Structure 1
Amino acid sequence: MLPDAVRRGERVPHGGEPDRDVLDFSANTNPETPDGVEEVYTGALEQSRRYPDDDYPEFRTAAAEFVGCEPDRVIPTSGGLAAIRLAIEVTLEEDETALVPYPSFGEYAREVRLQGATPQFVRHDDLLEVGVDLLADVDLAVVCTPNNPTGTAADPDALEAFAVRCAEAGTTLLVDEAFLGFTDLRSAATFDHENVIVARSLTKLFGLPGLRAGFAVASGERRDALETARRAWSLGTPATRVGTYCLRQEAFVRETRERVASERERMRRALERRFDVSHSDAPYLVCDVGDRSVSGVLESAREDGVAVRDATTFRGLDSHVRVAVKDRESNERLLAALDAPVNGETTDR
Protein backbone atom coordinates (compact mmCIF):
# COMPACT_ATOMS: atom_id res chain seq x y z
CA MET A 1 0.00 0.00 0.00
CA LEU A 2 1.50 3.34 -1.08
CA PRO A 3 1.46 6.29 1.33
CA ASP A 4 0.78 8.72 -1.53
CA ALA A 5 -2.12 6.59 -2.73
CA VAL A 6 -3.53 6.47 0.80
CA ARG A 7 -3.38 10.27 1.04
CA ARG A 8 -5.28 10.54 -2.24
CA GLY A 9 -7.76 7.83 -1.32
CA GLU A 10 -11.31 8.12 -0.02
CA ARG A 11 -13.70 5.99 1.97
CA VAL A 12 -16.38 4.02 0.08
CA PRO A 13 -20.11 4.21 0.94
CA HIS A 14 -21.63 1.08 2.45
CA GLY A 15 -24.98 -0.13 3.71
CA GLY A 16 -25.66 -0.60 7.39
CA GLU A 17 -27.92 1.38 9.70
CA PRO A 18 -26.59 2.35 13.15
CA ASP A 19 -30.01 3.34 14.52
CA ARG A 20 -31.32 0.17 16.20
CA ASP A 21 -34.88 1.53 16.08
CA VAL A 22 -34.83 1.43 12.28
CA LEU A 23 -35.38 -1.84 10.39
CA ASP A 24 -32.22 -2.19 8.30
CA PHE A 25 -32.66 -3.34 4.71
CA SER A 26 -29.54 -1.51 3.56
CA ALA A 27 -27.16 -4.31 4.66
CA ASN A 28 -27.40 -7.81 3.18
CA THR A 29 -27.05 -9.94 6.29
CA ASN A 30 -29.01 -12.95 7.47
CA PRO A 31 -31.52 -11.94 10.18
CA GLU A 32 -31.05 -15.39 11.74
CA THR A 33 -28.03 -16.94 13.46
CA PRO A 34 -27.46 -20.64 14.17
CA ASP A 35 -28.71 -22.01 17.48
CA GLY A 36 -25.89 -22.40 19.98
CA VAL A 37 -23.77 -19.44 18.80
CA GLU A 38 -24.16 -17.56 22.08
CA GLU A 39 -22.85 -20.50 24.09
CA VAL A 40 -19.88 -20.92 21.76
CA TYR A 41 -19.06 -17.21 21.98
CA THR A 42 -19.34 -17.19 25.76
CA GLY A 43 -17.04 -20.18 26.03
CA ALA A 44 -14.51 -18.47 23.75
CA LEU A 45 -14.23 -15.47 26.06
CA GLU A 46 -12.34 -17.46 28.69
CA GLN A 47 -10.04 -18.83 25.99
CA SER A 48 -9.37 -15.24 24.89
CA ARG A 49 -7.14 -14.79 27.92
CA ARG A 50 -4.44 -16.32 25.70
CA TYR A 51 -3.40 -15.62 22.12
CA PRO A 52 -5.18 -17.81 19.57
CA ASP A 53 -3.34 -20.64 17.87
CA ASP A 54 -1.96 -18.84 14.81
CA ASP A 55 -2.20 -22.04 12.75
CA TYR A 56 -6.03 -22.15 13.17
CA PRO A 57 -6.26 -25.90 12.39
CA GLU A 58 -9.94 -26.37 13.29
CA PHE A 59 -11.06 -23.24 11.47
CA ARG A 60 -9.09 -24.15 8.35
CA THR A 61 -10.60 -27.63 8.33
CA ALA A 62 -14.17 -26.37 8.73
CA ALA A 63 -13.69 -23.71 6.03
CA ALA A 64 -12.13 -26.23 3.65
CA GLU A 65 -15.01 -28.66 4.11
CA PHE A 66 -17.49 -25.85 3.48
CA VAL A 67 -16.05 -24.78 0.11
CA GLY A 68 -14.55 -28.09 -1.03
CA CYS A 69 -10.78 -27.68 -0.83
CA GLU A 70 -7.83 -28.85 1.25
CA PRO A 71 -7.33 -27.18 4.66
CA ASP A 72 -3.81 -26.00 3.91
CA ARG A 73 -5.20 -23.80 1.11
CA VAL A 74 -7.32 -21.77 3.58
CA ILE A 75 -5.95 -18.44 4.83
CA PRO A 76 -7.90 -17.09 7.86
CA THR A 77 -8.82 -13.39 7.70
CA SER A 78 -10.91 -10.99 9.75
CA GLY A 79 -13.75 -10.87 7.24
CA GLY A 80 -14.16 -11.10 3.48
CA LEU A 81 -12.89 -7.57 2.90
CA ALA A 82 -9.67 -8.41 4.75
CA ALA A 83 -9.22 -11.35 2.35
CA ILE A 84 -9.79 -9.02 -0.63
CA ARG A 85 -7.25 -6.49 0.65
CA LEU A 86 -4.70 -9.21 1.35
CA ALA A 87 -5.12 -10.68 -2.14
CA ILE A 88 -4.72 -7.31 -3.84
CA GLU A 89 -1.73 -6.37 -1.67
CA VAL A 90 0.21 -9.50 -2.64
CA THR A 91 -0.77 -9.28 -6.32
CA LEU A 92 -0.56 -5.68 -7.54
CA GLU A 93 2.38 -3.34 -7.75
CA GLU A 94 2.46 0.37 -8.52
CA ASP A 95 1.31 1.34 -12.04
CA GLU A 96 -0.17 -2.10 -12.77
CA THR A 97 -3.77 -2.58 -13.92
CA ALA A 98 -6.75 -4.55 -12.64
CA LEU A 99 -10.03 -5.39 -14.37
CA VAL A 100 -12.81 -4.37 -12.00
CA PRO A 101 -16.54 -5.06 -12.57
CA TYR A 102 -19.22 -2.40 -12.45
CA PRO A 103 -21.69 -1.82 -10.99
CA SER A 104 -20.15 -3.75 -8.13
CA PHE A 105 -18.57 -3.52 -4.70
CA GLY A 106 -16.75 -0.19 -4.46
CA GLU A 107 -13.92 -1.54 -2.33
CA TYR A 108 -12.32 -3.32 -5.31
CA ALA A 109 -11.37 -0.09 -7.07
CA ARG A 110 -10.40 1.55 -3.78
CA GLU A 111 -8.02 -1.27 -2.84
CA VAL A 112 -6.50 -1.27 -6.32
CA ARG A 113 -5.87 2.48 -6.10
CA LEU A 114 -4.37 2.17 -2.61
CA GLN A 115 -1.71 -0.04 -4.19
CA GLY A 116 -0.90 2.70 -6.69
CA ALA A 117 -2.46 0.59 -9.45
CA THR A 118 -5.24 1.50 -11.89
CA PRO A 119 -8.73 -0.04 -12.06
CA GLN A 120 -10.03 -0.70 -15.56
CA PHE A 121 -13.80 -0.99 -15.38
CA VAL A 122 -15.78 -3.63 -17.28
CA ARG A 123 -19.51 -4.26 -17.00
CA HIS A 124 -20.01 -7.15 -14.61
CA ASP A 125 -22.12 -9.09 -17.11
CA ASP A 126 -19.44 -8.74 -19.81
CA LEU A 127 -16.42 -9.58 -17.68
CA LEU A 128 -16.43 -13.35 -18.21
CA GLU A 129 -16.36 -12.80 -21.98
CA VAL A 130 -13.06 -10.90 -21.88
CA GLY A 131 -10.42 -12.62 -24.00
CA VAL A 132 -6.75 -13.38 -23.59
CA ASP A 133 -5.66 -10.33 -25.62
CA LEU A 134 -7.13 -7.88 -23.10
CA LEU A 135 -6.17 -10.02 -20.11
CA ALA A 136 -2.54 -9.99 -21.23
CA ASP A 137 -2.45 -6.27 -20.45
CA VAL A 138 -3.77 -6.57 -16.88
CA ASP A 139 -2.31 -8.13 -13.77
CA LEU A 140 -5.50 -8.85 -11.84
CA ALA A 141 -9.14 -9.50 -12.70
CA VAL A 142 -11.90 -9.35 -10.07
CA VAL A 143 -15.19 -11.24 -10.24
CA CYS A 144 -17.97 -10.88 -7.67
CA THR A 145 -20.43 -13.78 -7.56
CA PRO A 146 -23.24 -13.20 -6.86
CA ASN A 147 -22.51 -9.67 -7.93
CA ASN A 148 -23.22 -6.88 -5.49
CA PRO A 149 -25.57 -5.01 -5.98
CA THR A 150 -27.20 -6.74 -8.97
CA GLY A 151 -27.36 -10.20 -7.37
CA THR A 152 -26.50 -12.23 -10.47
CA ALA A 153 -24.25 -15.24 -9.91
CA ALA A 154 -21.65 -16.37 -12.42
CA ASP A 155 -22.12 -19.75 -14.04
CA PRO A 156 -19.35 -21.90 -12.48
CA ASP A 157 -18.36 -23.42 -15.83
CA ALA A 158 -18.11 -19.99 -17.47
CA LEU A 159 -16.14 -18.73 -14.49
CA GLU A 160 -13.70 -21.63 -14.71
CA ALA A 161 -13.26 -21.04 -18.44
CA PHE A 162 -12.44 -17.42 -17.63
CA ALA A 163 -9.95 -18.61 -15.00
CA VAL A 164 -8.23 -20.68 -17.69
CA ARG A 165 -7.94 -17.65 -19.98
CA CYS A 166 -6.57 -15.62 -17.08
CA ALA A 167 -3.95 -18.30 -16.50
CA GLU A 168 -2.99 -18.25 -20.18
CA ALA A 169 -2.51 -14.48 -19.95
CA GLY A 170 -0.59 -14.63 -16.67
CA THR A 171 -3.37 -12.78 -14.85
CA THR A 172 -4.40 -13.44 -11.26
CA LEU A 173 -8.15 -13.96 -10.81
CA LEU A 174 -9.72 -12.82 -7.53
CA VAL A 175 -13.21 -14.25 -6.98
CA ASP A 176 -15.26 -12.59 -4.26
CA GLU A 177 -17.80 -15.13 -2.97
CA ALA A 178 -19.13 -13.09 -0.05
CA PHE A 179 -22.72 -14.10 -0.84
CA LEU A 180 -22.18 -17.43 -2.62
CA GLY A 181 -23.07 -19.31 0.56
CA PHE A 182 -26.67 -18.24 0.05
CA THR A 183 -26.69 -20.40 -3.11
CA ASP A 184 -25.85 -24.04 -3.80
CA LEU A 185 -23.38 -23.14 -6.56
CA ARG A 186 -19.90 -24.63 -6.30
CA SER A 187 -17.05 -22.43 -5.15
CA ALA A 188 -14.13 -21.38 -7.32
CA ALA A 189 -12.08 -22.93 -4.50
CA THR A 190 -12.75 -26.23 -6.28
CA PHE A 191 -10.90 -25.04 -9.41
CA ASP A 192 -7.48 -26.57 -9.95
CA HIS A 193 -5.79 -23.34 -11.07
CA GLU A 194 -2.95 -21.69 -9.19
CA ASN A 195 -3.82 -18.23 -10.56
CA VAL A 196 -7.14 -18.13 -8.64
CA ILE A 197 -7.66 -16.54 -5.22
CA VAL A 198 -11.07 -16.84 -3.56
CA ALA A 199 -12.34 -14.47 -0.86
CA ARG A 200 -15.10 -15.66 1.48
CA SER A 201 -17.14 -13.97 4.20
CA LEU A 202 -18.78 -15.97 6.99
CA THR A 203 -20.63 -13.25 8.78
CA LYS A 204 -23.26 -12.38 6.16
CA LEU A 205 -24.57 -15.92 5.81
CA PHE A 206 -24.55 -16.54 9.54
CA GLY A 207 -25.96 -13.15 10.56
CA LEU A 208 -22.91 -11.93 12.49
CA PRO A 209 -21.36 -9.05 10.50
CA GLY A 210 -19.82 -7.51 13.60
CA LEU A 211 -17.84 -10.66 14.34
CA ARG A 212 -15.48 -10.13 11.35
CA ALA A 213 -14.58 -13.62 10.19
CA GLY A 214 -13.66 -14.83 6.72
CA PHE A 215 -10.93 -16.50 4.73
CA ALA A 216 -9.11 -16.67 1.43
CA VAL A 217 -8.38 -19.80 -0.59
CA ALA A 218 -5.40 -20.17 -2.92
CA SER A 219 -2.73 -22.63 -3.95
CA GLY A 220 0.89 -22.68 -5.03
CA GLU A 221 2.90 -19.46 -4.89
CA ARG A 222 -0.18 -17.32 -4.33
CA ARG A 223 -1.18 -19.37 -1.32
CA ASP A 224 2.33 -19.03 0.09
CA ALA A 225 2.28 -15.25 -0.46
CA LEU A 226 -1.06 -14.87 1.31
CA GLU A 227 0.08 -17.00 4.24
CA THR A 228 3.31 -15.05 4.62
CA ALA A 229 1.62 -11.64 4.32
CA ARG A 230 -1.36 -12.24 6.59
CA ARG A 231 -1.17 -10.64 9.99
CA ALA A 232 -0.30 -12.82 12.97
CA TRP A 233 -3.41 -13.83 14.93
CA SER A 234 -5.52 -12.71 11.97
CA LEU A 235 -8.66 -14.03 13.69
CA GLY A 236 -9.56 -13.46 17.32
CA THR A 237 -10.58 -16.44 19.43
CA PRO A 238 -14.33 -15.64 19.52
CA ALA A 239 -14.40 -15.23 15.73
CA THR A 240 -12.42 -18.44 15.28
CA ARG A 241 -14.61 -20.54 17.56
CA VAL A 242 -17.92 -19.12 16.35
CA GLY A 243 -16.83 -19.27 12.71
CA THR A 244 -15.76 -22.90 13.02
CA TYR A 245 -19.07 -23.76 14.67
CA CYS A 246 -21.19 -21.93 12.08
CA LEU A 247 -19.43 -23.48 9.10
CA ARG A 248 -20.59 -26.90 10.30
CA GLN A 249 -24.29 -25.99 10.68
CA GLU A 250 -25.50 -27.68 7.52
CA ALA A 251 -29.20 -27.61 8.42
CA PHE A 252 -29.05 -23.88 9.14
CA VAL A 253 -27.40 -23.19 5.78
CA ARG A 254 -29.94 -25.33 3.94
CA GLU A 255 -32.90 -23.66 5.64
CA THR A 256 -31.44 -20.20 5.00
CA ARG A 257 -31.05 -20.90 1.29
CA GLU A 258 -34.63 -22.13 1.04
CA ARG A 259 -36.04 -19.15 2.94
CA VAL A 260 -34.05 -16.59 0.97
CA ALA A 261 -35.06 -18.10 -2.38
CA SER A 262 -38.74 -18.19 -1.42
CA GLU A 263 -38.87 -14.72 0.11
CA ARG A 264 -36.79 -13.18 -2.67
CA GLU A 265 -39.25 -14.39 -5.31
CA ARG A 266 -42.23 -13.19 -3.28
CA MET A 267 -40.62 -9.77 -2.80
CA ARG A 268 -39.65 -9.52 -6.45
CA ARG A 269 -43.23 -10.07 -7.58
CA ALA A 270 -44.49 -7.41 -5.19
CA LEU A 271 -41.79 -4.87 -5.96
CA GLU A 272 -42.29 -5.26 -9.71
CA ARG A 273 -45.65 -3.53 -9.30
CA ARG A 274 -43.74 -0.31 -8.68
CA PHE A 275 -40.16 -0.74 -9.88
CA ASP A 276 -38.03 -2.47 -12.49
CA VAL A 277 -36.46 -5.30 -10.46
CA SER A 278 -33.39 -7.22 -11.63
CA HIS A 279 -33.03 -11.01 -11.39
CA SER A 280 -31.04 -12.03 -8.33
CA ASP A 281 -29.41 -15.14 -6.90
CA ALA A 282 -28.44 -13.28 -3.73
CA PRO A 283 -30.12 -12.14 -0.49
CA TYR A 284 -30.91 -8.75 -2.02
CA LEU A 285 -32.72 -7.13 -4.94
CA VAL A 286 -31.75 -4.01 -6.89
CA CYS A 287 -34.67 -1.88 -8.06
CA ASP A 288 -34.73 0.83 -10.72
CA VAL A 289 -37.17 3.44 -9.42
CA GLY A 290 -37.42 5.05 -12.86
CA ASP A 291 -38.41 8.70 -12.87
CA ARG A 292 -39.16 8.65 -9.17
CA SER A 293 -36.68 10.40 -6.89
CA VAL A 294 -34.29 7.94 -5.22
CA SER A 295 -33.96 10.29 -2.26
CA GLY A 296 -37.74 10.47 -2.06
CA VAL A 297 -38.03 6.68 -1.98
CA LEU A 298 -35.38 6.47 0.73
CA GLU A 299 -36.95 9.21 2.84
CA SER A 300 -40.44 7.79 2.47
CA ALA A 301 -39.28 4.34 3.61
CA ARG A 302 -37.39 5.84 6.53
CA GLU A 303 -40.51 7.65 7.69
CA ASP A 304 -41.97 4.17 8.12
CA GLY A 305 -38.91 3.03 10.09
CA VAL A 306 -37.14 1.18 7.25
CA ALA A 307 -33.64 1.87 5.89
CA VAL A 308 -33.04 1.10 2.20
CA ARG A 309 -29.68 1.23 0.40
CA ASP A 310 -29.05 4.12 -1.96
CA ALA A 311 -27.62 2.22 -4.94
CA THR A 312 -26.73 5.35 -6.90
CA THR A 313 -23.38 5.20 -5.09
CA PHE A 314 -22.51 2.22 -7.31
CA ARG A 315 -20.83 3.10 -10.62
CA GLY A 316 -23.32 2.99 -13.49
CA LEU A 317 -26.51 3.15 -11.42
CA ASP A 318 -28.33 6.49 -11.25
CA SER A 319 -31.92 5.61 -10.37
CA HIS A 320 -31.63 2.53 -8.18
CA VAL A 321 -32.11 1.31 -4.63
CA ARG A 322 -31.11 -2.04 -3.14
CA VAL A 323 -33.12 -3.96 -0.57
CA ALA A 324 -32.08 -6.99 1.46
CA VAL A 325 -34.12 -10.17 1.81
CA LYS A 326 -34.95 -10.77 5.47
CA ASP A 327 -37.56 -12.83 7.31
CA ARG A 328 -41.24 -12.84 6.31
CA GLU A 329 -42.43 -10.33 8.93
CA SER A 330 -39.64 -7.84 8.23
CA ASN A 331 -40.10 -8.19 4.48
CA GLU A 332 -43.78 -7.32 4.87
CA ARG A 333 -42.78 -4.09 6.61
CA LEU A 334 -40.41 -3.23 3.79
CA LEU A 335 -43.02 -3.88 1.11
CA ALA A 336 -45.54 -1.76 2.96
CA ALA A 337 -43.00 1.06 3.35
CA LEU A 338 -42.35 0.95 -0.41
CA ASP A 339 -46.09 0.74 -1.20
CA ALA A 340 -45.61 -2.69 -2.75
CA PRO A 341 -47.78 -5.06 -0.68
CA VAL A 342 -48.15 -8.62 -1.93
CA ASN A 343 -51.94 -8.39 -1.76
CA GLY A 344 -54.03 -5.44 -2.80
CA GLU A 345 -53.35 -2.38 -4.88
CA THR A 346 -50.39 -0.08 -4.33
CA THR A 347 -50.86 3.62 -3.81
CA ASP A 348 -48.60 6.47 -4.87
CA ARG A 349 -47.38 8.71 -2.08
Structure 2
Amino acid sequence: MAGLQEAAASPVVVVVNPNNPDGRVVAPEDLLDLAARQAARGGLLVVDEAFGDERPELSLTSRLGPGLVVLRSFGKFFGLAGIRLGFAVAEEGLAARLTDHLGPWPVSGPAIELGAQALADRVWTEATITRLRDAAARLGDILTRTGLEDLGGTFLFRLARHHQAPALYERLGRAGILVRAFAFRPDILRFGLPGSEADEQRLRATLAG
Protein backbone atom coordinates (compact mmCIF):
# COMPACT_ATOMS: atom_id res chain seq x y z
CA MET A 1 0.00 0.00 0.00
CA ALA A 2 2.98 2.31 0.54
CA GLY A 3 3.63 2.30 -3.19
CA LEU A 4 0.05 3.39 -3.89
CA GLN A 5 0.38 6.24 -1.41
CA GLU A 6 3.46 7.50 -3.25
CA ALA A 7 1.85 7.04 -6.66
CA ALA A 8 -1.18 9.07 -5.60
CA ALA A 9 0.88 12.21 -6.09
CA SER A 10 0.63 11.63 -9.86
CA PRO A 11 -2.38 12.83 -11.87
CA VAL A 12 -2.71 9.39 -13.51
CA VAL A 13 -1.89 6.15 -11.70
CA VAL A 14 -1.78 2.78 -13.48
CA VAL A 15 -2.03 -0.45 -11.48
CA VAL A 16 -1.80 -3.92 -13.01
CA ASN A 17 -3.90 -6.23 -10.84
CA PRO A 18 -2.81 -9.03 -10.60
CA ASN A 19 0.64 -7.76 -11.47
CA ASN A 20 2.94 -9.16 -14.13
CA PRO A 21 5.36 -10.90 -13.61
CA ASP A 22 5.08 -11.51 -9.84
CA GLY A 23 1.30 -11.88 -9.49
CA ARG A 24 1.17 -9.29 -6.71
CA VAL A 25 -2.42 -8.34 -5.84
CA VAL A 26 -3.85 -5.07 -4.54
CA ALA A 27 -7.10 -5.38 -2.58
CA PRO A 28 -10.10 -3.95 -4.45
CA GLU A 29 -10.99 -1.77 -1.46
CA ASP A 30 -7.56 -0.12 -1.57
CA LEU A 31 -7.96 0.58 -5.28
CA LEU A 32 -11.43 2.02 -4.82
CA ASP A 33 -10.11 4.28 -2.07
CA LEU A 34 -7.31 5.46 -4.34
CA ALA A 35 -9.77 6.04 -7.22
CA ALA A 36 -11.93 8.21 -4.96
CA ARG A 37 -8.93 10.26 -3.88
CA GLN A 38 -7.79 10.61 -7.50
CA ALA A 39 -11.25 11.78 -8.55
CA ALA A 40 -11.38 14.35 -5.74
CA ARG A 41 -8.23 15.99 -7.08
CA GLY A 42 -9.13 15.66 -10.76
CA GLY A 43 -6.87 12.64 -11.29
CA LEU A 44 -7.42 9.18 -12.70
CA LEU A 45 -6.75 5.58 -11.67
CA VAL A 46 -6.35 3.04 -14.49
CA VAL A 47 -6.54 -0.60 -13.37
CA ASP A 48 -5.25 -3.10 -15.91
CA GLU A 49 -7.00 -6.44 -15.34
CA ALA A 50 -5.37 -8.28 -18.25
CA PHE A 51 -4.61 -11.18 -15.89
CA GLY A 52 -7.78 -10.73 -13.82
CA ASP A 53 -10.19 -13.18 -15.46
CA GLU A 54 -8.85 -15.98 -13.28
CA ARG A 55 -9.57 -13.93 -10.13
CA PRO A 56 -13.09 -12.49 -10.66
CA GLU A 57 -13.33 -11.47 -7.01
CA LEU A 58 -10.64 -8.84 -7.67
CA SER A 59 -12.37 -7.17 -10.60
CA LEU A 60 -13.64 -3.61 -10.32
CA THR A 61 -15.78 -3.76 -13.46
CA SER A 62 -18.96 -3.91 -11.36
CA ARG A 63 -17.78 -1.30 -8.85
CA LEU A 64 -17.12 1.70 -11.05
CA GLY A 65 -16.93 5.22 -9.73
CA PRO A 66 -15.48 8.62 -10.61
CA GLY A 67 -11.79 8.62 -11.46
CA LEU A 68 -11.61 4.92 -12.36
CA VAL A 69 -11.00 3.14 -15.67
CA VAL A 70 -10.69 -0.65 -15.86
CA LEU A 71 -8.94 -2.30 -18.81
CA ARG A 72 -9.68 -5.88 -19.88
CA SER A 73 -8.12 -8.15 -22.52
CA PHE A 74 -8.98 -11.36 -24.35
CA GLY A 75 -5.39 -12.31 -25.11
CA LYS A 76 -4.45 -14.04 -21.87
CA PHE A 77 -7.16 -16.07 -20.12
CA PHE A 78 -9.26 -16.62 -23.24
CA GLY A 79 -6.26 -17.26 -25.50
CA LEU A 80 -7.67 -14.94 -28.17
CA ALA A 81 -4.70 -12.64 -28.74
CA GLY A 82 -5.16 -12.96 -32.51
CA ILE A 83 -8.46 -11.07 -32.56
CA ARG A 84 -6.78 -7.99 -31.03
CA LEU A 85 -9.73 -7.25 -28.75
CA GLY A 86 -9.85 -5.46 -25.45
CA PHE A 87 -12.05 -2.88 -23.81
CA ALA A 88 -12.18 -0.15 -21.20
CA VAL A 89 -14.90 0.07 -18.56
CA ALA A 90 -15.77 3.37 -16.89
CA GLU A 91 -18.69 5.50 -15.76
CA GLU A 92 -20.72 6.85 -18.65
CA GLY A 93 -19.30 10.36 -18.59
CA LEU A 94 -15.70 9.21 -18.40
CA ALA A 95 -16.31 6.57 -21.07
CA ALA A 96 -17.65 9.29 -23.37
CA ARG A 97 -14.52 11.37 -22.79
CA LEU A 98 -12.34 8.38 -23.64
CA THR A 99 -14.30 7.84 -26.85
CA ASP A 100 -13.85 11.49 -27.82
CA HIS A 101 -10.09 11.33 -27.22
CA LEU A 102 -9.61 8.02 -29.05
CA GLY A 103 -11.67 8.91 -32.07
CA PRO A 104 -12.85 6.20 -34.48
CA TRP A 105 -11.38 2.87 -33.43
CA PRO A 106 -13.32 0.22 -35.31
CA VAL A 107 -13.39 -3.36 -34.09
CA SER A 108 -14.39 -6.14 -36.46
CA GLY A 109 -17.79 -7.78 -36.13
CA PRO A 110 -16.30 -11.28 -35.74
CA ALA A 111 -14.03 -10.05 -32.92
CA ILE A 112 -16.97 -8.50 -31.08
CA GLU A 113 -19.03 -11.68 -31.50
CA LEU A 114 -16.19 -13.89 -30.23
CA GLY A 115 -15.62 -11.61 -27.27
CA ALA A 116 -19.30 -11.52 -26.34
CA GLN A 117 -19.58 -15.31 -26.50
CA ALA A 118 -16.42 -15.76 -24.44
CA LEU A 119 -17.65 -13.46 -21.67
CA ALA A 120 -21.06 -15.13 -21.60
CA ASP A 121 -19.76 -18.70 -21.27
CA ARG A 122 -19.68 -19.00 -17.49
CA VAL A 123 -19.45 -22.80 -17.53
CA TRP A 124 -16.26 -22.70 -19.60
CA THR A 125 -14.86 -19.86 -17.50
CA GLU A 126 -15.37 -21.64 -14.18
CA ALA A 127 -13.97 -24.92 -15.51
CA THR A 128 -10.96 -23.12 -16.98
CA ILE A 129 -10.21 -21.29 -13.72
CA THR A 130 -10.14 -24.65 -11.92
CA ARG A 131 -7.95 -26.24 -14.60
CA LEU A 132 -5.48 -23.33 -14.62
CA ARG A 133 -5.33 -23.17 -10.81
CA ASP A 134 -4.42 -26.85 -10.63
CA ALA A 135 -1.87 -26.55 -13.44
CA ALA A 136 -0.23 -23.53 -11.77
CA ALA A 137 0.05 -25.48 -8.52
CA ARG A 138 1.73 -28.37 -10.34
CA LEU A 139 4.12 -25.95 -12.07
CA GLY A 140 5.02 -24.38 -8.74
CA ASP A 141 5.71 -27.83 -7.32
CA ILE A 142 7.96 -28.69 -10.27
CA LEU A 143 9.95 -25.48 -9.79
CA THR A 144 10.48 -25.90 -6.06
CA ARG A 145 11.34 -29.60 -6.33
CA THR A 146 14.02 -28.83 -8.93
CA GLY A 147 15.74 -26.18 -6.83
CA LEU A 148 14.07 -22.93 -7.86
CA GLU A 149 12.40 -20.48 -5.50
CA ASP A 150 8.78 -19.82 -6.45
CA LEU A 151 8.28 -16.06 -6.11
CA GLY A 152 4.61 -16.00 -7.00
CA GLY A 153 2.59 -15.46 -10.12
CA THR A 154 -0.93 -16.08 -11.39
CA PHE A 155 -2.84 -19.10 -12.62
CA LEU A 156 -1.20 -18.46 -16.03
CA PHE A 157 2.48 -18.23 -15.05
CA ARG A 158 4.96 -18.54 -12.19
CA LEU A 159 7.97 -16.37 -11.39
CA ALA A 160 11.02 -18.15 -10.00
CA ARG A 161 14.49 -17.29 -8.75
CA HIS A 162 17.67 -19.31 -9.22
CA HIS A 163 21.31 -18.33 -8.74
CA GLN A 164 22.13 -19.84 -12.13
CA ALA A 165 19.05 -18.56 -13.96
CA PRO A 166 20.96 -17.56 -17.15
CA ALA A 167 22.36 -21.09 -17.49
CA LEU A 168 18.89 -22.55 -16.89
CA TYR A 169 17.49 -20.22 -19.53
CA GLU A 170 19.99 -21.54 -22.07
CA ARG A 171 19.38 -25.17 -21.10
CA LEU A 172 15.62 -24.77 -21.38
CA GLY A 173 15.94 -23.02 -24.73
CA ARG A 174 18.06 -25.83 -26.16
CA ALA A 175 15.32 -28.24 -25.06
CA GLY A 176 12.68 -26.17 -26.87
CA ILE A 177 11.18 -24.77 -23.66
CA LEU A 178 10.77 -21.01 -23.88
CA VAL A 179 10.68 -18.95 -20.68
CA ARG A 180 11.01 -15.22 -20.09
CA ALA A 181 14.24 -13.75 -18.76
CA PHE A 182 14.65 -10.22 -17.38
CA ALA A 183 17.69 -8.07 -18.10
CA PHE A 184 17.14 -6.00 -14.94
CA ARG A 185 16.97 -9.14 -12.77
CA PRO A 186 19.18 -11.90 -14.22
CA ASP A 187 18.34 -14.24 -11.33
CA ILE A 188 14.64 -14.63 -12.20
CA LEU A 189 12.67 -16.41 -14.91
CA ARG A 190 8.97 -16.44 -15.74
CA PHE A 191 7.45 -19.82 -16.64
CA GLY A 192 4.21 -20.21 -18.56
CA LEU A 193 2.00 -23.22 -17.87
CA PRO A 194 3.07 -26.45 -19.62
CA GLY A 195 0.45 -27.50 -22.14
CA SER A 196 0.19 -31.15 -21.17
CA GLU A 197 1.35 -33.79 -18.70
CA ALA A 198 4.11 -34.74 -21.14
CA ASP A 199 5.26 -31.09 -21.22
CA GLU A 200 5.32 -31.01 -17.42
CA GLN A 201 7.50 -34.12 -17.37
CA ARG A 202 9.84 -32.63 -19.98
CA LEU A 203 10.16 -29.42 -17.97
CA ARG A 204 10.88 -31.36 -14.78
CA ALA A 205 13.53 -33.47 -16.48
CA THR A 206 15.21 -30.47 -18.12
CA LEU A 207 15.34 -28.45 -14.89
CA ALA A 208 16.71 -31.47 -13.02
CA GLY A 209 19.53 -31.59 -15.56
TM-score (norm 2): 0.88
Give yes or no for the alignment of 1:170 onto 2:42: yes
**Contact 1:278–1:287 under 8 Å retained in 2:** yes
Aligned to 1:331: 200
Inter-CA distance 238–334: structure 2 relative to 1 (3 Å threshold): farther
1:248 alignment partner, one of 120, 124, 138: 120
> What one-letter code is carried by the residue in structure 1 that aligns with 2:191?
V
Give yes or no for the alignment of 1:319 onto 2:187: yes
> What one-letter code is carried by the residue in structure 2 that aligns with 1:195?
G
**Contact 1:153–1:281 under 8 Å retained in 2:** no
> What one-letter code is carried by the residue in structure 1 that aligns with 2:60?
A
Aligned to 1:193: 65
Structure 1: tracts of 5 or more residues without a match: 1-124, 340-348
Q: Which has the higher contact order (CA 8 A, sep 6+)?
A: 1
**How far apart, in 1, do the equivalents of 2:34 and 2:58 lie?**
15
Alignment RMSD (CA, Å): 2.1
Which structure is larger by alpha-carbon Rg, 1 or 2? 1
**How far apart, in 2, do the equivalents of 1:249 and 1:226 lie?**
28
**How far apart, in 1, do the equivalents of 2:86 and 2:99 lie?**
14
> What one-letter code is carried by the residue in structure 2 that aligns with 1:332?
Q
Report the alpha carbon displacement of residue 174 of structure 1 after superposing the two structures with TM: 0.4
TM-score (norm 1): 0.55
1:276 alignment partner, one of 133, 149, 152: 149
2:167 alignment partner, one of 292, 296, 313: 296
C-alpha deviations, 1:280-313, integer Å up to 9, x for none?
A: 3341111111x21x33211100111111111x24
**How far apart, in 2, do the equivalents of 1:209 and 1:309 lie?**
18
Residue identity over aligned pairs, in percent, reads: 27
* Runs ≥4 residues deviating over 4 A: none
**How far apart, in 1, do the equivalents of 2:204 and 2:122 lie?**
30
Structure 2: tracts of 5 or more residues without a match: none
C-alpha deviations, 1:148-199, integer Å up to 9, x for none?
A: 0001222222222222232334320000000100123242122242200111
Aligned to 1:57: none
Aligned to 2:3: 127
**Contact 2:44–2:68 under 8 Å retained in 1:** yes
**How far apart, in 2, do the equivalents of 1:156 and 1:257 lie?**
20
Aligned to 1:225: 97
Partner-residue secondary structure (3-state), 2:53: helix
Report the alpha carbon displacement of residue 232 of structure 1 after superposing the two structures with TM: 2.5
